[in-house]
Structure 1
């Protein structure tokens, strides 16, 4: 049983940074109202752009057109920001990546010298509050003038995918344009959305992946304001798992509770009267879910879920008040993640580096099932994994792109096909992709006991 450690008080330095970040744009906007008639060239923009959600006071969500204009403005006006097209959906909508750093947008090589935080927003198109929080915070980071934010961005590259499922957002659906749940496609990579996210993770190697979602509460079993969860997959290395759990349970939950929200662990309905665990809804150890894929790829994965249903009579009478509360709780969680990335940069680097080295050592079992709260069945443990998996020409042709997007190394053979060794940084991912016993394998590779 996992026991929550006592929450340590938030460091004063971190608290000051959060306060500055939260107020920087409000101050800038207030000044802009006064100075607008005297505004000069946009090189040092006085009036940062506002989202459609902000302009409407929460009566509606930011539209796709407004998002495109908002990102174009931030890209043009802030030297810290670059907006990249990383894919196109089935219905032709753009998938964007926003890179934020100081003094300029981070490249993968420069990001590797510090911490990298990736925000993945709106994987489910009918869960918009996290997207609004992402747009707000990327703007705040882009325009803030204070020294604390500049120091933060000098050591931490922030990457944001503001809308990870544009087709679903446009339709108001959980799935993408084909009806596929993007958050169940981080192994097979069958969707344009899943492929784009995988390429970002491969190229930038984030230390933290913060995944923003929403949930429908069911009182009294599942009625918290904010729920969090870390990678439960048993193949997540110990140090990465420890940091991810610490981030979720102590930093993020601590911050949202300090802000007046209730919080809990996402995953099971629990009867508050008896403590009995009910229906499981989280796919705890499934490697195809982003927070678990994050752990397999040596990032501290974090799932944050804000409650959709109204909390008060005021919210029932005024839906905009409920929307504002949902976005505010997501903003609080984001600020806690930023604090954690800055204050624990050394610990994160140590944990992620050790996880990659472990793959090169090629030792230990690989788990095909189970989670940190559910022991695996005997048949779900490869106690003595093979040296690698051989793919014939047809198999390799079918999965070579997916292996490359994951960053899995394959050695092509002169006669066709390839050998995929386990001795590589993503060691545990290889059997999950290629072993016939795995639940979501891409193809059934032939186990090879001795690699030449």
Structure 2
């Protein structure tokens, strides 16, 4: 493993505790405060991986971390339909952070391993004492949504309490969860958005321990896209491999003998998925998927072994993310900043379809976008909150609103308002002269 990877994945103090974390004494408490021998522990750790951390255990755990560390702050960024809190944890950042990283954990409520990795990583960074990690936290502002779908996690369901897949709501923003995440992305302007999931294997063609995928949407800036692939190829996958986990590209079936791709079953460029919305909104996005299925007879016999392996694969990949941020933070921030300003130049096509491995058809390309889209009063009244959550600039008057294309969110405007876009929210009237 690279020297910096181990140091950033777990600090010296946390490393000393790593072995007993999953075998804590029976009288340990998830809300325990830091002492010479004890740090707060999750319900997952206290049960040695048998049980996933419950919502009350998560709240107690985060409250204990917050009390015990001056590096951590916790905000309530929304509430679910069932009135569970949506929380945002802030760690580090110093006075002039180089880059901002946002972890979105457990959008799908029945995919808990990434959430467990996020929770323990919050704790490990909060109480780190070694100089290298302290410097990392001075340069990096880490934002974590530990449970992006609390109602789904409580019910162990993919969707939220209305059965909606939150990871298909990053354009329409019809869910409380999707709206909360959009507001965080708008206000915090993360340079990296890291989205943690799980998947069911299809052996022998699709059964790696860990898959990942960058934004495939063609509206992603070329330099942002390049950084996302670098994050995957040079940091996350090597980190997972060094920890003993196999890796691959999400959505691509491969020949078990030659390793050649056979077909694509998922991982397209549709804009409503967070991985792609991240790229459109100028962030280096990466989707992470750990394998749910047992890898051995021992895991089949003891589900805690399966649980711990899934969490371990997610934790190792997070180490790669942190090394990437530490080494390339300035370059990444320069790429995302430049991407945000490119829309003001108002040049180039906007893509309504296609992907980085699937060229857009001519009908899916707006070669010369209009100056803007006109919304009548009723349309604007219906959409003004969503436009604001997306950070889209509008010009209002007594009869409705003009949404100019020349703005930071240039590519997003046609995706929201052009009737040819697959997930458009309204049929805006194209305006050729603003």
Fold conserved between structures, TM > 0.5? yes
Compute the displacement of 1:426 (Å): 1.0
Name the structure 2 match of 1:361.
345
Name the structure 1 match of 2:78.
87
Gaps of 5+ in 2: none
Contact kept? 1:271, 1:278, Cα under 8 Å:
no
Distance 1:59 1:95 in 2: 25
Contact kept? 2:342, 2:408, Cα under 8 Å:
yes
- CA deviations over 1:170-210 (Å, ceiling 9, x no partner): 11110000000000000000000000000010011011111
Compute the displacement of 1:270 (Å): 3.1
Name the structure 1 match of 2:90.
99
Contact kept? 1:390, 1:420, Cα under 8 Å:
yes
Compute the displacement of 1:341 (Å): 0.7
Gaps of 5+ in 1: 1-9, 104-109
- CA deviations over 1:245-296 (Å, ceiling 9, x no partner): 11012211111111111110001323435746235223x1010000100001
User: Which contiguous aligned blocks of 4+ residues in structure 1 show a shift greater than 2 angstroms?
Assistant: 10-25, 27-30, 41-47, 268-279
Name the structure 2 match of 1:107.
none
Contact kept? 2:13, 2:128, Cα under 8 Å:
no
SS in 1 for 2:186: helix
Aligned pair in 2 of structure 1 residues 421, 320: CA closer, same or farther (>3 Å)? same
Name the structure 1 match of 2:423.
440
Q: How does 1:74-153 map to 2 (within 5 A)?
A: 74-101=65-92, 113-153=97-137
Distance 2:36 2:89 in 1: 19
| CA RMSD, 1 decimal | 2.2
Contact kept? 1:24, 1:145, Cα under 8 Å:
no
Aligned pair in 2 of structure 1 residues 360, 25: CA closer, same or farther (>3 Å)? farther
Compute the displacement of 1:221 (Å): 1.2
Distance 1:177 1:13 in 2: 41
Name the structure 2 match of 1:53.
44
Distance 2:357 2:171 in 1: 22
Compute the displacement of 1:18 (Å): 3.1
SS in 1 for 2:11: helix
Q: Which of the residues 172, 192, 203 maps onto 2:176?
A: 192
SS in 1 for 2:263: strand
Distance 1:449 1:361 in 2: 16
Distance 1:371 1:168 in 2: 30
Compute the displacement of 1:28 (Å): 11
Distance 1:206 1:46 in 2: 35
Name the structure 2 match of 1:73.
64
Distance 1:49 1:322 in 2: 23
Structure 1 residues 271-280 or 441-450, which shifts more?
Answer: 271-280
Distance 2:261 2:140 in 1: 42
Using structure 2 for the length normalisation, give the TM-score. 0.94
Distance 2:20 2:358 in 1: 50
SS in 2 for 1:13: helix
Contact kept? 1:28, 1:47, Cα under 8 Å:
no
Name the structure 1 match of 2:402.
419
How many positions carry a matched residue from both structures?
426
- CA deviations over 1:394-448 (Å, ceiling 9, x no partner): 11111110011011111112x2311111111111011001101000011111111
Distance 2:90 2:422 in 1: 34
Compute the displacement of 1:20 (Å): 2.7
Structure 1 residues 57-66 or 74-83, which shifts more?
Answer: 74-83
